[in-house]
Amino acid sequence: MSDHNQNSLPHNPYGHLTPEHREFVITRPDTPAPWVNYLWNERYQALISHVGGGFSFVQDPRDNRILRFRYNSLPWDQPGRYLYLHDGHEYWSLSWVPTQMLAYDHYEARHGLGYTTIATARRDVWSEVTFFVPRGEALECWLVKLENRGHEHKRFDLFAYAELCLGNALNDLINQPNDKHFSEVRFRREWRALAATRNYWKNTRGVSVEQPNQDWPFVVYFATTLPQAPAGFDGGKDHFIGRWRSEANPEAVQRRRCFDSEITHGDPCVALQHGLELAPGAALTFAVLLGVADKTAADEQVPPLLQRYRQGDAVAAALAQVKAHWHKHLSVLQVETPDAAFNALINVWTRYQTAVTFDMARNAGYYHGGLLFGTGIRDQCQDLWGPLLAEPAAVKARLIEVASYQFADGSTLHNYFRLARTGERTGHSDTPLWLPFALMNYLKETGDFSLLEESVPFCDRGAAALRRHLTLALDYVISQLTARHLPRFGPGDWNDTLDYVGRGGAGETTWGAAFLCYLLREAEVLFDHLGDRATARHYRAVYEQVKAAINALAWDGHWYVRGFKDNGEAFGSHRDREGQIFIEPQSWAVLSGVATGARAQQTLRSVREKLMTPFGPQIVFPAYRTVDPAIGLATRCVPGKKENGAVFNHAAAWYVCAELLHGETELGWQTYRDMMPINSSSRAGQDRYKTEPYVFAEYLTSPEHPTAGEASHSWLTGSAVWMLRIGTDVILGLQPTYQGLKLDPHLPAAWPRVRLRREFRGTIYEVEIEQSAKFETPRRLLVNGEVCTDDVLPQRPGAVLHVHLQVRVAA
């Protein structure tokens, strides 16, 4: 399904979506910030900007960084993957940067699914470079196409260049003068490739004087598929770039000759030089390969791989496999609605973004440097909800991994590093609860209840079935309730910047109480389905107890307070001069059933009246302008940014969900529509908005700051998965349950018809939903032409079921 009506998408001065929405085409290179794409598989991960910037890594962006990324560099987004051409008179880069001071006849970048293509033209030479990571291979390919569109024979020197990190990126950043003593780059003539490695590797957590006595276990190789051997090479950045120069004017390129440098210390790079010729009208296609091999097996692994990619159309075939993978990934859910922006995000870009967050967490990005945090358990347990649609096996494996970081008492690490098998046990009050959240979502989607019986080790001692992991998480949080039956705040809940509310052990979280109630109610449904009535009744009893405490203690007259400090004082109250109302407890009070009837209406009305902006609701109002040490970092943030009053999309999405499920469809949809990045970037103005208009950002600055509408921290945010599942499960109404798929849409009244295709537990559902005031009954559901009175659609694995839902709406 696709939407060819591009007129319904807002104009963007820097680019546009293609008609099928599968590519975002950037037509101006001078974007307000680097616009990024991700290229990755389970063995090799890379980021690339629209001008060739970015970095790559294997398994962990801190411990196994391959390409170097210079933080706070100027110009931003350097170094990168650079291809230079020298035609005997001038030289230029095929990606605009780093020779952006030159005039180009053409520039275009296409960010696609798993690939990025940068096309430029200068001095009668058309170039097109497609960057991608092949499926199942630990390498990235730069597929290069050159065409002579002039009338003269062309002789070029081509230089392919990248700067290396090799290993621990944090150590490389803070201890580079010493760390550079362990790097080695040599030219392997039998490979026709450069090979780089290091003989010291640090993969312990954080900044430390500890010096592990271990080798880095990888070799990085750099080669081309051109039939001739390179005319020159460099392994030392100082040689290739030269003294007091930059990537904009490398000495090797300027003099048209590499130095053939091999290094045993210093700043490593990989640079290869080739002589090329093109007759008028002639074209040439080849590839640059940057890959990683096991050090002890490199001589067995690398030569056959290079031989394979140097034959025929092997590189083009690998690119086709990448495109086929993403086509299959997206095909499990496709929608066609009257809103082109909604279609583009639900069918393509938000699905793709959630696949990125699933594998990158809050770790590897332009705004998350990949140096300190590792993988967050809270993040992973939400992020997997998106890829669950298409990759249930991968989600299952990740759930087992996350559960292995739970302790035998039911608490968990807050974050972890996969390679080092270490993490932080911070004591955040909400972190243990996200494991049950993720497990229950997996069970609803797959119906794979056997997972509950799979034994998974604890982080400290012993092992238990995942069913026990689930109940332990709930029971641990229940055991930490105060005497007033509210969860302790600890050093933070979902809002990490409320980090001193409960440091003394007495602070309480209203949001955490509502979220616990949501999960207790969900647990009751699950254990009822499993036939365990006693456990279901137990969690229902605790639910009623906590619900009563919230309504008795946290209701502030028109909304719920955010919590209680260690001294017992409420905050997020109308009595406060700043920080009067927070969005999180209002939304989850409704979602959990804690707030019902008039109280639910009032708390949502308060959000609309107090928190709403042109870009969605802000997280707190008024923003703090006075530091409150008893609350913490939120009060130290700039007013209107981040957790101090920004439109924090993650939390705003919860509000949208609450409005929709409370029956306020038009209000919920209006906010959802305003929050879609295609729309919010247009409303703010792209030069103000800055980040990519095709993926969600973590937050937008609110009107409490002069830069209102500026977005930041794009790609790696839980906003994406929540906006995706609200779109699919709530607005379109395709709701997974333990019994099967339920159809309960909340469509805007202006949508007369939508069409959907959804694969679920082996059944393909072709769904059409119609809304009209002319229908005789409020709701009429047909499955293969027969009236269906069940709430849950029938399942027929291997079959296609045609579902037609008619909904009567007000005239």
Tens digits of residue pLDDT in 229-260: 999 999 999 999 999 999 999 999 999 999 99
Strand partners, 285: 145
Give 601-635 pLDDT, tens digit per residue: 999 999 999 999 999 999 999 999 999 999 999 99
Q: Is the pLDDT of residue 178 over 90?
A: no
Spatial CB neighbours of 346, under 8 Å, sequence gap ≥ 6:
333, 335, 724, 727, 728, 732
Task: Taking residues 775-800, report their average pLDDT.
Answer: 96
pLDDT band at 4 (very low <50, low <70, confident <90, very high): very low
pLDDT tens for 457-490 read 999 999 999 999 999 999 999 999 999 999 999 9
Would you say residue 45 has pLDDT above 70?
yes
Cβ atoms of 218 and 63 closer than 8 Å? no
Confidence of residue 73 (pLDDT cuts 50, 70, 90): confident
Give percent of the chain with pLDDT exceeding 90. 92
Phi/psi-derived region of residue 192, left when phi > 0, alpha when psi is between -120 and 50, beta in every other case: left
**Given CA atoms 630, 631, 634, 639 in this order, what sign does their dihedral have?**
negative
User: 514-531, pLDDT tens digit by residue?
Assistant: 999 999 999 999 999 999
Q: Is 212 a residue whose pLDDT tops 90?
A: no
Q: Is the pLDDT of residue 206 over 60?
A: no
Instruction: Summarize the confidence of residues 666-680 as an average pLDDT.
Output: 98
Provide CB contacts within 8 A for 564, sequence distance 6+.
Answer: 486, 489, 501, 507, 508, 510, 553, 570, 571
| Amino acid letter, residue 497 | T
Whether pLDDT at 758 is above 60: yes
The domains of the chain, with CATH numbers, are: 33-323 (2.70.98.40), 734-808 (2.60.420.10)
Kind of pairing, strands 91-93 and 125-132? unpaired
Q: How much of the chain, in percent, has pLDDT values that exceed 70?
A: 99
91-100, 104-113, 366-375, 400-409, range with the lowest pLDDT: 366-375
Gap between the Cα atoms of 664 and 763, Å rounded: 32
**Quick one: 317 exposed, middle or buried, by C-beta within 10 A (0-12, 13-18, 19+)?**
exposed
Listed residue (685, 694, 698) closest to 646, CA to CA: 698
What band does 1 get if pLDDT is binned at 50, 70 and 90?
low
Q: What is the pLDDT of residue 717?
A: 97
26 - beta bridge partners?
Answer: 15, 109
CA-to-CA distance for 806 and 290, rounded, in angstroms? 54
For helices 597-611 and 649-661, the axis angle rounded to 10 degrees is: 140
* Mean pLDDT, the chain, integer: 96
Render pLDDT for 528-575 as a digit per residue (tens, 0 to 9): 999 999 999 999 999 999 999 999 999 999 999 999 999 999 999 999
Average pLDDT score over residue span 335-348:
98
The sign of the torsion formed by the CA atoms of 783, 788, 791, 793 equals negative
Burial zone of 364 (CB within 10 Å; 0-12 exposed, 13-18 middle, 19+ buried)? buried
Give dist(CA 540, CA 525) in Å, integer.
Answer: 9
Please, what's the b/e burial string for 386-414 (b: 16 or more CB within 10 A of its CB; e: otherwise)?
bbbbbbbebbbebbbebbbbbbbebbbbb
Predicted model pTM = 0.97
User: Which DSSP letter does residue 631 get?
Assistant: T
CA gyration radius, the chain: 28
- Chain centroid offset of residue 172 CA: 25
From the CB of residue 30, how many other CB atoms can be counted at a distance below 10 Å? 9
Q: Are 25 and 359 in contact (CB under 8 A)?
A: no
Long-range CB contacts (within 8 A, 24+) of 741-746:
741/765, 741/792, 741/793, 741/795, 742/791, 742/792, 742/793, 743/767, 743/769, 743/781, 743/793, 743/803, 743/805, 744/791, 745/769, 745/805, 745/807, 746/660, 746/661, 746/665, 746/668, 746/669
Q: What is the mean pLDDT of residues 499-504?
A: 97
Q: Say which residues have a Cβ less than 8 Å from residue 547's Cβ, sequence separation at least 6.
A: 517, 592, 593, 594
> Within 13 Å, how many C-alpha atoms sit on residue 795's CB side?
16
Res. 207: pLDDT tops 80: no
CA nearest 398: which of 361, 371, 445, 344? 361
User: Looking at residue 539, what is its pLDDT?
Assistant: 99
| The pLDDT of residue 372 | 80
Is the pLDDT at 205 greater than 80, yes or no? no
pLDDT at position 6 is 43
Give the pLDDT score at 86: 98
Res 208: pLDDT: 67
Closest C-alpha among 495, 786, 767 to residue 631:
495
**Residue 741: closest CA among 771, 722, 764, 724:** 764
User: Nearest 5°: phi and psi at 411?
Assistant: -75, 170
Q: Is the peptide bond before 134 cis (omega within 30 degrees of 0)?
A: no
Which stretches within 676-712 are classed as H helix? 677-684, 686-689
Greater confidence, 417 or 397?
397
Alpha-helical runs (H) found in 337-406: 340-344, 350-360, 377-383, 392-403
Residue 158 CA to residue 432 CA, distance in Å, equals: 54
Residue-level pLDDT at 538: 99
Mean pLDDT of 184-188: 99
The DSSP code for 687 is: H
Reported as a single tens digit per residue, the pLDDT across 271-322 is: 999 999 999 999 999 999 999 999 999 999 999 999 999 999 999 999 999 9
Cα separation, 63 vs 419, in Å, equals 8
